[in-house]
């Protein structure tokens, strides 16, 4: 299996990393999160100028026309710099639902250009998430409901049609709401098999989005921990020179390196419409979540109790990892999806399935 990214993919990722390093420093993010909305319109506009909001939008509608594999790189950068995850909910998950509609569909034609220029936020109220992220800022919300015949129907409604109840989160950057709503005339935009297919893909994209951010968070926590142990001294020596500390951080590095190919394989399966993509996505969510949890736990061990405090950057990334681990399906959900495939008589197991030819770039 070839996980080599193209020069264009790597260049775009690197340019986004340099941009976010400057525009999304921890000090700036703290200031944004302490505002009432917890969001920065200025930062959102700058991100749109870089092309990230239009990454998945077809070129004919003003976007870059890229896909799932490209997002596997971008979501790691969003995690590394702790950019609010609702950005990818709009630009990746919601855009995926809209682009599944026929070209010329009114909803698609109206909203995709506004996503590209960064002027619109779209929240996705998928049943797998008990609460909706950034519903308080959404210009449009995508929701689902079963019809009287038991089929799935997708609805698109403006925020003004919602009844929102804000809910606190351990992550200061995460703004959640309980959403109460009722269908409106003409709010249904897809129904039946079409709706189910789009909603299943939204779940997989949401889980891949969270998984990629978890890998980025794990890498940031590892980098912060390495910097800290190189400076902190005990007995006249940097604590990073102690073997026990080295082992802690080596465990994190190993988890990250084992999670990345699982993430990329799942992204490739999603891009190619692999029939077993649900299991691969769930595997990625579990592996990436494990890497982030390990990075947070080991980071706290090498930082000591001060790692929990507001003044230390580690806590920002650790808390984000905790909440994203449960977003778009918690561990129990993804273990169940993975088990359903693995215990099936036709499960894709063995070298022939694992090492099949799969061009990534």
- The count of structural domains within the chain is 1
What's 79's DSSP letter? Answer: H
* pLDDT tens, position by position, 136-161: 999 999 999 998 888 999 999 999 99
Please report whether residue 243 resides in a domain.
Answer: yes
Mean pLDDT of all residues in the chain?
90
Q: What is the pTM of this model?
A: 0.92
Please report whether residue 96 resides in a domain.
Answer: no
* Strand 140-146 with 122-125, pairing: parallel
Domain hosting 267: range is: 195-354
Contact 318, 300 (CB under 8 A): yes
**What's residue 292's pLDDT?**
97
- Decide if pLDDT at 294 tops 90: yes
pLDDT average, residue stretch 15-20: 94
- Decide if pLDDT at 226 tops 80: yes
Provide the CATH number for the domain around residue 242. 1.20.140.10
Range from 104-118, 239-253, 258-272, 347-361 carrying the lowest mean pLDDT: 347-361
**What's residue 278's pLDDT?**
94
Please report whether residue 265 resides in a domain.
Answer: yes
Please report whether residue 214 resides in a domain.
Answer: yes
Place of tokens 């950068």: 77
Please report whether residue 284 resides in a domain.
Answer: yes
Please report whether residue 304 resides in a domain.
Answer: yes
Alpha carbons 47 and 43: distance in angstroms, whole number: 6
| Alpha helices (H) along the chain | 7-23, 26-33, 41-49, 68-80, 86-88, 95-99, 106-116, 193-231, 243-272, 277-303, 314-326, 331-342, 351-354
């Amino acid at each position: 299996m070839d996980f080599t990214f193209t020069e264009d993919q790597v260049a775009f990722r690197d340019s986004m990393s340099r941009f976010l390093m400057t525009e999304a420093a921890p000090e700036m993010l703290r200031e944004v999160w302490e505002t009432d909305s917890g969001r920065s319109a200025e930062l959102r506009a700058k991100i749109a100028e870089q092309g990230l909001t239009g990454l998945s939008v077809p070129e004919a509608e003003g976007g870059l026309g890229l896909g799932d594999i490209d997002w596997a790189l971008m979501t790691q950068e969003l995690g590394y710099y702790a950019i609010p995850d609702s950005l990818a909910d709009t630009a990746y998950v919601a855009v995926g639902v809209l682009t599944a509609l026929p070209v010329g569909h009114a909803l698609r034609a109206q909203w995709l250009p506004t996503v590209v220029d960064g002027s619109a936020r779209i929240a996705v109220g998928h049943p797998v998430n008990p609460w909706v992220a950034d519903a308080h800022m959404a210009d449009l919300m995508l929701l689902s409901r079963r019809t009287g015949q038991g089929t799935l129907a997708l609805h698109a409604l403006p925020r003004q049609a919602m009844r929102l109840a804000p809910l606190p989160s351990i992550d200061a950057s995460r703004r959640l709401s309980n959403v109460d709503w009722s269908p409106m005339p003409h709010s249904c935009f897809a129904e039946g098999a079409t709706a189910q297919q789009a909603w299943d893909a939204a779940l997989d994209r949401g889980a891949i989005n969270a998984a990629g951010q978890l890998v980025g968070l794990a890498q940031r926590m590892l980098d912060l921990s390495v910097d800290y142990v190189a400076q902190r001294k005990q007995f006249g020596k940097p604590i990073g020179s102690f073997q026990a500390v080295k082992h802690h951080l080596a465990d994190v590095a190993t988890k990250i390196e084992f999670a990345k190919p699982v993430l990329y394989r799942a992204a490739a399966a999603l891009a190619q419409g692999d029939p077993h993509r649900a299991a691969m996505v769930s595997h990625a969510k579990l592996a990436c979540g494990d890497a982030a949890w390990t990075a947070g736990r080991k980071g706290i061990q090498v930082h000591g109790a001060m790692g929990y405090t507001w003044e230390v950057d580690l806590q920002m990334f650790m808390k984000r990892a905790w909440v994203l681990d449960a977003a778009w399906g918690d561990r129990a959900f993804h273990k169940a999806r993975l088990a359903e495939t693995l215990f099936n008589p036709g499960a894709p197991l063995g070298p022939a399935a694992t090492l099949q030819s799969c061009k990534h770039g």
